[in-house]
Amino acid sequence: MLSFIKYLTGDQPDARPALRFFNTMSGEVETFAPLSDREVKMYNCGPTVYDRVHIGNLRAYVFADTIRRTLDQWGYAVNQVINITDVGHLVSDGDDGEDKMEKSAKKRGVSAQDIAQEITDLYFADLDSLGIDRSKITFPKATEFISEQIALVQTLEEKGYAYQISDGIYFDTAKFPAYGKLGNIQLAEQKEGARVEENPEKKNPSDFALWKFSMKGEKRQQEWPSPWGTGFPGWHIECTAMIFKLLGKQIDIHTGGIDHIPVHHNNEIAQAEAATARQYVRYWMHGAFITIENKKISKSLGNTVYLSGIVDRGFSARALRYWFLTGHYRSPINFTWDALEGANTALRNLSRHCLETEGEAEPNATFVADFLAAMADDLNTAKAIARTWDMVKDSSLSPAEKRASLLVADQFLGLGLGDQQAARQLTVEKTIAVDELPENVQKLVADRQSARAAKDFGKADELRAHIDAAGYDIKDSPDGPRVTQKNS
């Protein structure tokens, strides 16, 4: 399909509405003007692959994808990088505590590398289900850029920004007077955000580790030789070294969740700008957090929701994406299962409209202009979706015109409208408790379980076919069989 904008403007860049993004650095919505006319360099802080990503993390990547799709549609060539942090991210955002990777590996009795691989694969599967096109993105692993990180620390040392204490090489924030400029962070606030126990050897509380030494007597799984001793890179240096290597010394857009503002991103700015003496990032963009049932997502509260859990309950991953987009990326949103069900239903209706309408038509020009204006206004997806519903309900438009309009809107929204397979996943199938099934199906399920237990898989398959013929789907999960009524 022709790009939305090209369709509208006949490929005349001047006719495109100006894109405006909120820049955390200035605290204002600014007109977007990239370093180069046609290319945009964008870096999105990626996951630390010690544990599965939850739906809060996924919001950050759908946000990045929304920027990406919008830039694509605006005709830019986007060079996008999302890092995979597989070493050096410590339990506290300061520089204390264990490395999350090593801790998780020890706990599960597997190697840090195996965990990284497993979690990265799950992460990629989540991105795929959410309609994020991985083939357009570079995903560097921190462990594959160790020499670049060491070289950057050396540069900082040569320029007088680094000093050594007993547990590592640190950045001296007193030497970088603009420290804390992103989000106007006061040091007290930063310390509070990071909940850091102070290291008495540090010159300033906000100083951060560039390289950490392996502790005496400790054998880390992941450690490397360096000019200062065996150890591993600090989390912050990873992002900057990979950006320098893959995108260059100055980039257009850098994103993350708002939790990254006080520490991680201010540290990135300090080390990058100290090394190059020039501006590091032109537009800093941060996504707000989601809460679950009005509470922070937290392991200790046990309220974490994963995409797999959503799909297990019979919802489509794209329904989660739709739900994310109904809120502006800078607004906190609260997840509830009811809200997800509502999103699933809404998306199913849009999707049906696309799939069940026949005939070709041009998209509605007024709608297109309004939709573009909403996206250009700091990616106001909430407004864009509301406008989409107004268009769908407008009885003066033909079904084909609505369908064509929906399909161009989907270039931005990424909901898979018009995609048969995505639509099939939208039919909410509620798992039916086995004892609520008709008796004959209950028996088939029980017999199949016995056949599986006896490893008689031929018989189990035969019984599955009977269950299928009775109008039910059966899937095996760690908690036993899940039975759902088949879609008619």
| Sites of contact with Zn ion (CB under 5 A) | 45, 239
239 binds, among Zn ion, ligand AMP, none (CB under 5 to 8 A by kind): Zn ion
Q: Which is nearer to Zn ion, 179 or 284 (CB)?
A: 284
**Residue 364's closest CA among 390, 337, 343, 340?**
390
Q: Nearer Cβ to Zn ion, position 239 or 325?
A: 239
**Cβ distance to ligand AMP smaller for residue 183 or 363:** 183
57 makes contact, choosing from ligand AMP, Zn ion, none, with CB < 5 to 8 Å by partner type, with ligand AMP
Binding site for ligand AMP (CB under 6 A): 45, 47-48, 56-57, 59-60, 256-257, 259-260, 287, 289-290, 297
Residue 297 binds which one of ligand AMP, Zn ion, none, with CB within 5 to 8 A depending on kind? ligand AMP
DSSP element (H, E) containing 348 = helix 337-356
Chain centre distance of CA 260: 14
209, 89 Cβ separation under 8 angstroms: no
- What tokens appear for 208 in the block? 């951060």
CB of 89 to ligand AMP, least distance (A): 7
Which partner, ligand AMP, Zn ion, none, binds residue 262 by CB below 5 to 8 Å per kind?
none
Question: Of these partners, Zn ion, ligand AMP, none, which one is at the site of residue 257 (CB under 5 to 8 Å by kind)?
Answer: ligand AMP
CB of 296 to ligand AMP, least distance (A): 7
Q: Which amino acid is at 172?
A: D
CB 362 within 8 A of CB 320: no
> Residue 362 Cβ, how far from Zn ion at the closest point, in Å?
43
Six-digit token pair at 435? 């004892």
Query: In the complex, what is the shortest distance from the CB of residue 126 to Zn ion, in angstroms, rounded to a whole number?
Result: 19
Backbone angles phi, psi at 474, to 5 degrees: -125, 130
* 81/41 Cα distance (integer angstroms): 8
Nearest distance in Å: CB 254, Zn ion: 8
- Phi, psi (rounded to 5 degrees) for 254: -130, 130
Answer for the pair 106, 256: CB distance below 8 angstroms, yes or no.
Answer: no
Nearest residue to ligand AMP, by Cβ distance, number only: 257
45 or 169: CB nearest Zn ion:
45
Cα(272)–Cα(192) distance, integer angstroms: 24
Most distant CA pair in the chain: distance in Å?
A: 78
What's the one-letter identity of residue 190? Q
Select the binding partner of residue 321 from ligand AMP, Zn ion, none (C-beta < 5 to 8 A, by kind): none
For the CB of residue 106, give the shortest distance to ligand AMP in the complex, in Å: 19
| 414: partner contacted, choices Zn ion, ligand AMP, none (Cβ within 5-8 A by kind) | none
The binder of 233, among Zn ion, ligand AMP, none, by C-beta within 5 to 8 A per type, is: none
Q: How far is the CB of 210 from ligand AMP (least distance, A)?
A: 19
Q: How many CB atoms lie within 10 A of CB 11?
A: 13
How far the first Cα of the chain sits from its last, in Å, is 31
Angle at 199 between CA 193 and CA 203, to 5 degrees: 100
Report the residue number, 72 or 148, with the smaller CB distance to Zn ion: 148
**Tokens, residue 184:** 């106007």
Beta strand segments in 37-153, E: 39-44, 77-82, 137-138
For the bound state, the minimum distance from the C-beta of residue 443 to ligand AMP, rounded and expressed in Å, comes to 45
Residues β-bridged to residue 42: 80, 253
Q: Residue 143 has which token pair?
A: 């462990």
Residues across the chain: 488
Cα–Cα distance for residue pair 325/130, rounded to 1 Å: 12
Smallest separation, CB 64 to Zn ion (Å): 12
By beta-carbon proximity to ligand AMP, the closer residue of 43 and 367 is 43
- Residue 260 C-beta: closest distance to ligand AMP, Å: 5
In the complex with ligand AMP, the residue whose CB is nearer, 332 or 471, is 332
Q: Return the number of the residue (290 or 413) whose C-beta is nearest ligand AMP.
A: 290
Binding partner of residue 187 among ligand AMP, Zn ion, none, CB under 5 to 8 Å per kind? Answer: none
CA 474 to centroid of chain Cα atoms: 31
Tokens of 377: 């206004």
What does the alpha-carbon distance between residue 80 and residue 78 come to, in Å, rounded to a whole number?
A: 6
User: Which of 69/260 has CB closer to ligand AMP?
Assistant: 260
The stretches of 109-234 forming alpha helices (DSSP H) are 112-129, 146-158, 187-194
* 59, interface contact from ligand AMP, Zn ion, none, CB < 5-8 Å by kind: ligand AMP
Contact 244, 274 (CB under 8 A): no
> Which option in Zn ion, ligand AMP, none does residue 56 bind, with CB closer than 5 to 8 A by kind?
ligand AMP
**Shortest distance, CB of residue 140 to Zn ion, whole angstroms?**
11
In the complex with ligand AMP, the residue whose CB is nearer, 142 or 423, is 142
Which residue, 265 or 403, is less far from Zn ion as judged by CB?
A: 265
